[in-house]
Amino acid sequence: MSDLFNPTEEHLALRQMVRAFSEREVDPQAEEFDRTEQFNQALFRRLGSELGVLGVTVPERFGGAGMDAVAATIVHEELAASDPGFCLAYLAHSMLFVNNLAINGNDEQRERFLPGACSGELIGGMCMSEPGAGTDVLGMSTLAKKDGDHYILDGQKMWITNGAISDTELGDVFLVYAKHEDRSERAISLFLVEKGMEGFSLGQKIKGKLGMRASTTAELVFEGVRVPEANLIGTPGKAVRSMMRNLEIERLTLAAMSLGIARRSIEIMNNYAKERIAFGKSLNHFGQIQRHIAESYAEYMAGRAYVYNTAANLALDSAGNRVDSDGVKLYCAMMAKNVADRAIQVLGGYGYVAEYHVERLWRDAKLLEIGGGTNEAHQKNMTRDLVGREKIL
């Protein structure tokens, strides 16, 4: 019998490995790093040195595991069930930087950065959003100006996950989107920018976030940063297509994170409802509670089937899957937040405090309706792409 969620023995072994690591190592530290708003660098690096999943989609010759979109989905679901904030840092590194470079870079660039990024020696991220350009990404104002065998970058990037790995220290390397000042609005290029380049600095580490506090979020500043031409990814001014292609795997894995949040919330409320006695019966004898549990499970399984079906049909080097990569994130982000909300309701006062984890899961879930594309952006994209279809399937 085929298994949509673990289509091969290799996928099943990956899930078992990551789940065991998450339950043993990730879950116990989640509350502390959420409370202190710190990134657990040491644990993060072990994802590379011990598990080998920091380059889960990267060819083995560059230090990766050489696996597919289903494998990436599995890792994100399992990590997020323990600590969505920690998982978000993983996503920014493994999908937005590592997978992006593996697909769009040349061999010299891959050989220079991917082995360190896959081992955990380097921590990377991707810079697209700006203080005045989020959903309107083509409205970015960071500029790239050609100067001999270098490009000069000027601008700011905002909401960058892994932008800072501590209160004062930048991440190691970033893929940065910038617009050419002398070309059309869509003339955007992608550059490798490294910590230590003159003019590249940490503007601020953003604190006081509602959720995802175990991943760092930062503003990065580019003031006359000289980037060698060798750090240009692909053809000058032609990065929009690669940007859109990488958004598909980003949105798929964000949906997988939603699955992890929902599954953990269901487990917590189901176990609590079995043990908590009210009016002489366990809570799961009452219709109101039964509805919260049953509807949550059904919605989670529906989302899970949609996510893994989309993953099975997503080739990492292709584009044109936006209807479903947006669709899984749109559905699962809302589903995860609603399931976590129900879990809080079932636990009552206990759900409102940190001990039972669901308040953290609820806070973390909200970002998934905003980051990586808002719900409203997905609705717009999907409707636009469906206009040309007389039949949906």
Residues recognised as catalytic: 250
| CA-atom Rg of the chain in angstroms | 21
Who contacts 61 (Cβ-Cβ below 8 Å, separation ≥6)? Answer: none
User: CA 256, CA 332: separation in Å to the nearest integer?
Assistant: 8
Amino acid at 9: E
3-state SS, residue 388: coil
Amino acid at 379: Q
State the DSSP code for 22: I
State the DSSP code for 149: T
User: CA 261, CA 353: separation in Å to the nearest integer?
Assistant: 17
What angle, rounded to 10 degrees, do the helices at 240-275 and 69-82 form? 40
| Nearest partner of 339 among 358, 317, 314, judged by Cα | 358
Phi, psi of 221 (to 5 degrees): -120, 135
3-state SS, residue 304: helix
Strands 173-180 and 217-228: unpaired
User: CA 192, CA 112: separation in Å to the nearest integer?
Assistant: 11
The residue written with tokens 């230590």 in the block is 196
| Nearest partner of 206 among 257, 250, 154, 163, judged by Cα | 163
